[in-house]
Structure 1
Amino acid sequence: MEASISALLNEFRSHPRFIVTSHARPDGDAIGSTLAMAEILHQLGREPILVFADDVPHTYRTIPDIERIHVTKDARTVEPDLNVPAIVLECDGIPRTGLAGLDGRRLINIDHHASGRLFGAMNWIDEHACAVAAMVYRLALEAGIKITPSMATCLYAAILSDTGSFTYPSTNTETLSLAHNLAAHGANPSQIAQDLYFSNPESKIRLLGAALSNLQTDGPLAWSWVTTSDMDRAGAQAEDCEGVVNYLISIAGVESAVFLRELPLVDRYRLSIRSKGKVDVAQIAESFGGGGHRSASGCTLDGPLTVATERILNQLRMGLC
């Protein structure tokens, strides 16, 4: 069942320690929200244990207190006691975390995706929130938590990244008011933007070149891909693919775009899908076992590349009809 904010805060006060985690391949919202949630728990006198299945991408490593995050595939390596509950942010289920060691724990599920599911003992899903960070901010206000400069920075970075730098439809007066409030509490918008967007490793730019060389368009559709060979030549990691699809959707006249990344060792492709609003890409991603938002979603498809590409393009074409 859906939980109220007051019920969630009562839950936080009922246990001395909490695991806090988010999805595998963490993005800005996952990272910033997790760190901000840790500050809330700390101010409530609770001990947060931050656990991710995958490393924090390079561009987010300047976010305050990033060193507090443990990276492991099994939460029991840092918290073996299964009586310790877990707060799961921005996930539609335990598998999305990529973590073992969560089964059997009491789960508190906080999410803002349209594809969110009520898998926790307590669930708060608000698909109208621009980011989970906005929900964490509401928790802090309701709890009377002091919004420190470090918390404000974490939340601002999360919102900046999850709104596509304030370009997605989730950007409205409430979103901009929240950004204003976080800046007033010590977040430095210019510095955060520079850290997120002007500190790319060379491998990411080389991979972008490979992706753009594969660019294809067909009327309102644009798509591109990279293979594992492209990744190897660029010396790139999976995190270097973040944001490539935004170049495709930025093309004038394009209404929907998809970027496909070949996964190593298996004939499968990870898809990032974007829309300018005419196509609900969340529904399309869900039909393939993925999910996300109306304008930004993702899923995984079996190869070969030509088959995976045609499957997603057919769905996008139908969505544009």
Structure 2
Amino acid sequence: MKIEEPIPALLEQFRSHPRFLITSHARPDGDAIGSVLAMAEILEQMGRECIVVFADEIPGIYRTMPNIHRVRLTRDARAVEPDLAVPAVVLECDGIPRTGLAGLEGRPLINIDHHASGRPFGVANWIEEDACAVAAMVYKLAIVAGVKITPSMATCLYTAIISDTGSFTYSSTTAETFAIAHDLSAHGANPSQIARDIYFSNPESKIRLLGTALSNLQTEGPVAWSWVTSHDMDRAGAGAEDCEGVVNYLISIAGVESAVFLREIPSADQYRLSIRSKGKIDVAQIAESFGGGGHRSASGCTLDGPLTVATERILQQLRTGLC
């Protein structure tokens, strides 16, 4: 396993402070949650105190993760740690705004990210665009730090990796990815149980909303798209987290090279977009052009409505990229 140069600098920062905030992006996914919880264990084994904080609720499919009770929800980090001398470890974010948290400005920031849109905004930065997940980077950090990979840490990291690689289907999946997964399994992660928790624990509302999204499916050559409105979500009794993964059904269509799913944001006349590619175009660049970001094959952004305008803006970019 290749050990990245920034790791010693990060460990030096960890040894220089007794207490840390740990957070990740708003609307947290499996990689954000699993990486943050594992990072807390690493720091505590190094003798540090930790506060785990997110701006948004934890999706239901991740609420069985070990130590999930530690997560504190707030929109202002000062509510849980008013001392601005306490550093924040920010995982999987290309900047402070991505966290959805106020109260990070003025703190020492330690930045660990794997997005193509990653930026060095911290006093210590580790950006590894080729990493399959931030969890893989956290795993490397644990190995170099010499801490014990506990069953709970292994479960969190495995959950993060399987979710951020699309169950080992994205192009970021390599032999090293499987080597890490193997080691995490050997240290107590239960692959079949984790898969059941993530993929076979959906609420009824999500399946009903999926039916609506699939009924809205449109295709045009190598491009597919669909959407749901706030009314659709209310009718299904669904929330934002129920929209996760819908776009994967669209990109799974034979002959489709890029897909986008649009979710209306209630009372905002805006749409949250999930964009996917099978590799022919870099959707991270497209998302960045609209103020979003992500990976070459999986990205997201937010566009102003109405729906017809937002749809045409993103389709124009996808069509041009596939020409």
Alpha-carbon distance in structure 1 between the residues aligned to 2:204 and 2:122: 40
Checking the alignment, whether the CA contact within 8 Å between 1:3 and 1:122 is kept in structure 2 is: no
User: CA-to-partner distance for each residue in 1:49-71, whole Å, 9 max, x for gaps?
Assistant: 00000010000001100000001
Specify which of 230, 253, 256 is matched with residue 254 of structure 1: 256
- Residue of structure 1 in register with 2:6 after alignment: 4
- Residue of structure 1 in register with 2:173 after alignment: 171
Equivalent residue letter for 1:284? I
- Residue of structure 2 in register with 1:130 after alignment: 132
- Residue of structure 2 in register with 1:18 after alignment: 20
- Residue of structure 1 in register with 2:319 after alignment: 317
Alpha-carbon distance in structure 1 between the residues aligned to 2:196 and 2:255: 29
Counterpart secondary structure, 2:261:
strand
**2:19 paired with 1:29:** no
Alpha-carbon distance in structure 1 between the residues aligned to 2:305 and 2:6: 43
- Residue of structure 2 in register with 1:293 after alignment: 295
The answer for unaligned runs of 5 or more in structure 2 is none
- Residue of structure 1 in register with 2:65 after alignment: 63
Alpha-carbon distance in structure 2 between the residues aligned to 1:13 and 1:197: 38
- Residue of structure 2 in register with 1:186 after alignment: 188
Checking the alignment, whether the CA contact within 8 Å between 1:258 and 1:271 is kept in structure 2 is: yes
Specify which of 125, 149, 152 is matched with residue 150 of structure 1: 152
Counterpart secondary structure, 2:32:
helix
- Residue of structure 1 in register with 2:46 after alignment: 44
Equivalent residue letter for 2:252? S
Equivalent residue letter for 1:148? T
Checking the alignment, whether the CA contact within 8 Å between 1:268 and 1:304 is kept in structure 2 is: yes
User: CA-to-partner distance for each residue in 1:193-247, whole Å, 9 max, x for gaps?
Assistant: 0000100111111111111110000111100000000010011110110000000
- Residue of structure 2 in register with 1:80 after alignment: 82
Alpha-carbon distance in structure 2 between the residues aligned to 1:201 and 1:84: 39
**What percentage of residue pairs aligned between the two structures are identical?**
81
Q: CA deviation at 1:122?
A: 1.2
Specify which of 96, 99, 102 is matched with residue 98 of structure 2: 96
Counterpart secondary structure, 2:181:
helix
RMSD across aligned positions (CA): 0.9
The answer for unaligned runs of 5 or more in structure 1 is none
- Residue of structure 2 in register with 1:229 after alignment: 231
- Residue of structure 2 in register with 1:308 after alignment: 310
User: CA-to-partner distance for each residue in 1:38-89, whole Å, 9 max, x for gaps?
Assistant: 0000100001100000010000001100000001111111111111000000
Alpha-carbon distance in structure 2 between the residues aligned to 1:79 and 1:176: 38
Q: 1:265 to 1:271 in 2, by over 3 A?
A: same
Deviates more, 1:262-271 or 1:3-12: 3-12
**2:221 paired with 1:219:** yes
Alpha-carbon distance in structure 2 between the residues aligned to 1:143 and 1:176: 21
TM-score (norm. length: structure 1): 0.99
Equivalent residue letter for 1:114? A
TM-score (norm. length: structure 2): 0.98
User: CA-to-partner distance for each residue in 1:117-174, whole Å, 9 max, x for gaps?
Assistant: 1111111100010000000000000000100010000000000000001110011111
Counterpart secondary structure, 2:317:
helix
- Residue of structure 1 in register with 2:141 after alignment: 139
Q: CA deviation at 1:3?
A: 6.9
Alpha-carbon distance in structure 1 between the residues aligned to 2:122 and 2:243: 31
